[in-house]
Amino acid sequence: MDLTTATLALPAGFPADAALPAVVVELGRRFEAAGHELSLVGGPVRDLFLGRVSGDLDFTTDAGPDAAEAVGAGWADATWDVGRRFGTIGFRKAGWQLEVTTYRAEQYDPASRKPQVAFGDSLEEDLLRRDFTVNAMALRLPGLELVDPYGGVRDLAAGVLRTPGAPEDSFSDDPLRMLRAARFASQLGFTVADEVEAAMTAMAERIGIISAERVREELVKLVCGAHPRAGLDLLVRTGLADHVLPELPALQLESDEHHRHKDVYAHSLTVLEQAMELEGEYAPSTPDPVLRLAALLHDVGKPATRRFEKGGAVTFRHHETVGAKLVRKRLRALKFDNDTIKAVARLVELHMRFYGYGDAGWTDSAVRRYAHDAGDLLPRLHALTRSDVTTRNKRKAERLAHAYDDLERRIAEIAEQEELAAVRPDLDGEQIMALLGIRPGPVVGRAYRHLLEWRLDEGPHEPAEAEAELRRWWAEQPEAQQD
């Protein structure tokens, strides 16, 4: 039997097209033969009801990690035990990732970020300690008996998130589950039961004991879900966002009858949704966390730059510059990698650059600078700038769309003519040093930057023209006067 492709139909109660990889039942038979229980558990069972098969399959067992490892010995293609102290042994078989964890009861010290693990005695006890009822279902193996003591099927059908026990106990054991609630609201489009939201609100400060890395992973999964607005709204309503992404609720700027202005928070969520619609055309992946984070955070500089002008107008001058600094600070605090931090902050910094193009028009020099400054981020900048138009004024929206169409056309034309994506000065560093008779040092960098600016302003030149411009520039430099 080809375990990579073979599937088994599930018993009544599951969707007609739901099926399991045969490797699941085979592993169950091996545990049964060794005198142990084994159940498929959690997200993979939930996903079967949703018509999906998880790439990673999670199991729970009464066997300890040593016994579980022995069951897989000689059968699995590979074994790993990095989670042994938590009771987890991993197997790889026929392309599937299989993680087997001993029944456990897990609790957190109120002041600790790390779980205190105690192994449990039964499947029902293990299910009770899981985050939500829709993840607290199991399939006993190899017989494929559904175990659902806490109403997971009912809540899955209703599209609601509840905890198997009291939500206060669940969130006290692992505060990260509060962020998971928001993440599942985003990924699955579920609502959150009233008592769960109340507990999240009351216990929001407890998220502070969770490491930045774990918080970051949940936020990325939330933003990359199918319904991020639902998850983000939940974070803001419960006060969790105040602790993990305070720049977001800060966008709910207060206004009064004398100073009406756009709801920046609602605008930011709309921009995020519109950016999602453009991912297939402009982003390197779908979902694209860089584009989505930039869309969500593009206006975080507005609260610090808001000014009320005479006549009731509201301005946010230079909010893109301030916002880029805030984004860098927040993403660093959340332990994002440097490439993501630089990309998101740069998009925020550049997102206002386009405005005014449709009214005043740009020279070829300005178009070159726009593309050059965006660099590899140019497609994402196109998506972000287009998404930033949320006006209800149809005529204004069409005018901006046509203007950006024109800008993209001009970038494409200039790129074709000049290989814009790789714009460099007409002379390189070696040529600059040879012509000026200077050694490597800061002066070479200044000369290079001058030629680059000249190239962006006027386009490419013949070598003789570039040499003449370099000599003209050099004659004005204080170092030249010292020779």
- CATH code, domain carrying 211: 1.10.110.30
- Residue 417 sits in the same domain as residue 315: yes
Residues 414 and 433 occupy one common structural domain: no
Co-location of 38 and 142 in the same domain: yes
Q: Mean per-residue pLDDT for 388-415?
A: 89
Residue 145 lies in a domain: yes
Is residue 270 included in any domain, yes or no? Answer: no
Number of domains making up the chain: 4
Band (pLDDT 50/70/90 cuts) for residue 37 is very high
What mean pLDDT comes out for the span 88-106?
90
Q: Is 413 helix (H, G, I), strand (E, B) or coil?
A: helix
Position 355 in a domain: yes
DSSP bridge pairs for 141: 38
Pair 149, 163 in one domain: no
Shared domain for 108 and 203, answered yes or no, is: no
Higher pLDDT, 73 or 6: 73
Residue 106 has pLDDT above 70, yes or no: no
The Cα 471–Cα 478 span in angstroms is: 13
The pLDDT value recorded for residue 355 is 85
Do 199 and 237 form a contact (C-beta atoms < 8 A)? no
pLDDT at 9 over 70: no
Same domain, 356 and 448: no
Residue 359 pLDDT greater than 70, yes or no: no
Based on the fold, state whether residues 138 and 166 are members of the same structural domain.
Answer: no
- The reply to whether 445 and 302 lie within a common domain is no
Q: Express each pLDDT in 283-329 by its tens digit.
A: 999 999 999 999 999 999 999 888 887 877 888 889 999 999 999 99
Which residue blocks in 224-263 are alpha helix, DSSP H? 228-238, 241-244
Domain membership of residue 340 (yes or no) is yes
pLDDT at 205: 96
Look at 201 and 394; give whichever has higher pLDDT: 201
**Residue where a domain stops, chosen among 399, 422, 445:** 422
Amino acid occupying residue 448:
Y
Asked whether 237 and 196 are in contact (CB, 8 A), the reply is no
Q: Which of 64, 70, 161 lies closest to 120 in space, CA to CA? A: 64
Among the residue ranges 164-173, 214-223, 357-366, 384-393, the one predicted with the least confidence is 357-366
The strand ranges marked E within 122-226 are: 138-141, 145-147, 160-161, 191-192
323 domain residue, yes or no: yes
Q: Tell me the pLDDT band of 258, cut-offs 50, 70 and 90.
A: very low
454-474 pLDDT per residue, tens: 888 888 888 899 999 999 998
Let me know whether 307 and 391 are in one domain.
yes
pLDDT per residue over 108-128, tens digit each? 566 665 656 678 789 999 999
Where helices occur in 437-477 by DSSP H, the ranges are 442-458, 463-475
Which residues span the domain enclosing 181?
159-245
Q: Are residues 141 and 165 in the same domain?
A: no
Mean pLDDT of 395-401: 88
pTM assigned to the model: 0.82
Query: Is residue 260's pLDDT more than 60?
Result: no
Mean pLDDT of 160-177: 95
Q: Using pLDDT thresholds of 50, 70 and 90, give the confidence band for residue 478.
A: confident
**Cα separation of 52 and 39, whole Å?**
18
- What is the helix, strand, coil percentage profile of the chain, to 5? 55, 15, 30
Bridge partners (DSSP) listed for residue 100: 59, 89
Same domain, 288 and 313: yes
Residues 176 and 287 placed together within one structural domain of the fold: no
What's the pLDDT at 1?
33
Residue 268 lies in a domain: no
**More confident site: 438 or 34:** 34
Task: Please give the single-letter amino acid code of residue 186.
Answer: S
Residue 23 lies in a domain: yes
Is pLDDT of 376 > 90? Answer: yes
In this prediction, residues 27-55 reach a mean pLDDT of: 92
Higher pLDDT, 447 or 343: 343
The first and second tokens of residue 247, run together, are 């720049």
The span from the CA of 64 to the CA of 290, in Å, is 41
